[in-house]
Structure 1
């Protein structure tokens, strides 16, 4: 019995979410392999081979995989599936895109957003915006799993010596083609893997105030930028800043929530953060219920003072 982890990467570097997924896989099976499917992925394969506890790195290198479309990537996974008891991918946009297709093709039920492995066939996953944990047991011969990365501490990135195997590309039916991609360019840490996140909410009042108050604080802390859904819906920041049940799930070492009341959908995305600091003028704001440190103050005064003190 072995588990196969689908590596998350950009054809140049291995994403940190893969390390969390390997941690989950090691609790599912005694042997773990990693599939690196992409184009010109030698660097990614070498990085994956250094992960401790991994047996083999399976490399499928083909130009058709450069954009990580669900159809060709799923075809590679399906060609290997019968050799594994568990197929795991991070519960990211890519993982959520490809794994349901794999599960459907295998005629099995997908286990989504797993945060706990009780045994080889029993898993925990959040429901009701994280207010309850469902224990799910699967009798399917192959378990198809997406892993909520915040539920597992990442394994080390170095120290392993996995063998690298080249596998032939398996053609898919060609039902989809890549048209284009619009990316937000930033020099800041990636939101889902950042150790420190500063998030702003509707209390800021405008996108200009977000830029004036939140960005300097994030610069001082070398932090990623986040936001509540209310701030995104109001147009203060792009939607890729959104933290929450309908945004990105994060668990940084430090999460600073500024002007965020703490709606349940936002808390579902950040309450696993190691240390939570909240700044809000409303002492009854729900965010204080999960905060380790709370400051009841006018954010327009408190945030500039905090930024100055940290500079």
Structure 2
């Protein structure tokens, strides 16, 4: 029997969907190991009020580390607290969401504890008593099957891949103040830049409307925003690297090898040619819709649905049709 620990990431005191996915993934894995799933959340004072619902996602116990110096993410502080929690438990694995924060924190913990790390997992199983992790490689063209025989394994999971299940666990919440000394930290948060107007993080969105150089100018982004708005609150805007490098959109929206890796239920690639670096970040999307005037664009090679034509004529009509369907529902 071995337990599994899930790390619940908080942003401004709220627990996101990617963290609930991590908790459910931990609960499923713990069930296969005849163990229990535990959760650790780290943040400022008052965070405990936001974590109670994680019990339903499969957490048998929820530990909340509250400290005023941990309100904002600090890699050294968070790593100290998480490493201490891992050492105090008999764990087979630690699961974190593969968000920007999770991708920074996970390798730190693996190095501190000298344990294996498997990143960006899309599948976790138990085979012959060993953990097995499935993860995309070669820009998503193939999958690696990793067998892990050391514990605890540190695993980050790709958002929107693992379902959130309702286990109905009690999820007993325990709050504690970690023994940390912020004066020893070499890293300081100087400035925090969030998404524009509270926009949804593209890595956690269930629907993404992504634009490329085919949009021609930043002022044309309103067409994409109209489609995103019609799709509803679960949709976010994305962008190709070329668009971000040109200064049209913020880096937080960039999808691709040097941006964010996403796996939404629905991905719109509008005016995106489909460079291999972009495909690496979105090809595991459940359904891909591409709009491009070039019938030979590589994006059509991965698209489930493709429209060859002028996006400036297609987008307004597409937004109208989506809005009409939504209103009919």
Q: TM-score with structure 1 length normalisation?
A: 0.92
Which of 90, 106, 116 does residue 109 from structure 1 map onto?
116
SS at match of 1:144: strand
Which of 54, 59, 62 does residue 48 from structure 1 map onto?
54
Aligned CA distance change for structure 1 residues 310 and 112 (closer, same or farther; 3 Å): closer
User: What is the distance in 1 between the residues matched to 2:121 and 2:265?
Assistant: 21
User: What is the distance in 2 between the residues matched to 1:195 and 1:218?
Assistant: 11
SS at match of 2:267: strand
**Alpha-carbon offset, residue 124 of structure 1:** 1.4
SS at match of 1:126: strand
Does the 8 Å CA contact 2:24/2:165 hold for their aligned counterparts?
Answer: yes
Which of 245, 258, 271 does residue 246 from structure 1 map onto?
258
**Alpha-carbon offset, residue 11 of structure 1:** 4.4
**Alpha-carbon offset, residue 17 of structure 1:** 0.4
Aligned CA distance change for structure 1 residues 50 and 152 (closer, same or farther; 3 Å): closer
**Alpha-carbon offset, residue 176 of structure 1:** 2.4
Does the 8 Å CA contact 2:40/2:62 hold for their aligned counterparts?
Answer: yes
Does the 8 Å CA contact 1:27/1:117 hold for their aligned counterparts?
Answer: no
| Structure 1 counterpart of 2:217 | 206
> Does residue 95 of structure 2 align to residue 88 of structure 1?
yes
| Structure 2 counterpart of 1:179 | 190
Does the 8 Å CA contact 1:123/1:135 hold for their aligned counterparts?
Answer: yes
**Alpha-carbon offset, residue 254 of structure 1:** 2.0
SS at match of 1:175: coil
5+ long unaligned stretches in structure 1: none
Does the 8 Å CA contact 2:159/2:203 hold for their aligned counterparts?
Answer: no
User: What is the distance in 2 between the residues matched to 1:309 and 1:243?
Assistant: 26
User: What is the distance in 1 between the residues matched to 2:174 and 2:75?
Assistant: 22
Which of 264, 269, 293 does residue 281 from structure 1 map onto?
293
User: What is the distance in 1 between the residues matched to 2:291 and 2:68?
Assistant: 48
Which of 248, 255, 272 does residue 260 from structure 1 map onto?
272
Does the 8 Å CA contact 2:133/2:146 hold for their aligned counterparts?
Answer: yes
Does the 8 Å CA contact 1:229/1:242 hold for their aligned counterparts?
Answer: yes
| Structure 2 counterpart of 1:215 | 225
| Structure 1 counterpart of 2:179 | 170
| Structure 2 counterpart of 1:63 | 68
CA deviation string 1:33-54 (max 9, x = no partner): 0001111202222232332x21
| Structure 1 counterpart of 2:240 | 228
User: What is the distance in 2 between the residues matched to 1:262 and 1:126?
Assistant: 18
> Does residue 9 of structure 2 align to residue 8 of structure 1?
yes
User: What is the distance in 1 between the residues matched to 2:321 and 2:177?
Assistant: 57
> Does residue 184 of structure 2 align to residue 151 of structure 1?
no
1-10 or 219-228, which moves further after superposition?
A: 219-228
181-190 or 98-107, which moves further after superposition?
A: 181-190
SS at match of 1:304: helix
5+ long unaligned stretches in structure 2: 324-329
User: What is the distance in 2 between the residues matched to 1:204 and 1:132?
Assistant: 31
Which of 157, 161, 165 does residue 170 from structure 2 map onto?
161
Aligned CA distance change for structure 1 residues 166 and 307 (closer, same or farther; 3 Å): closer
Does the 8 Å CA contact 1:252/1:274 hold for their aligned counterparts?
Answer: yes
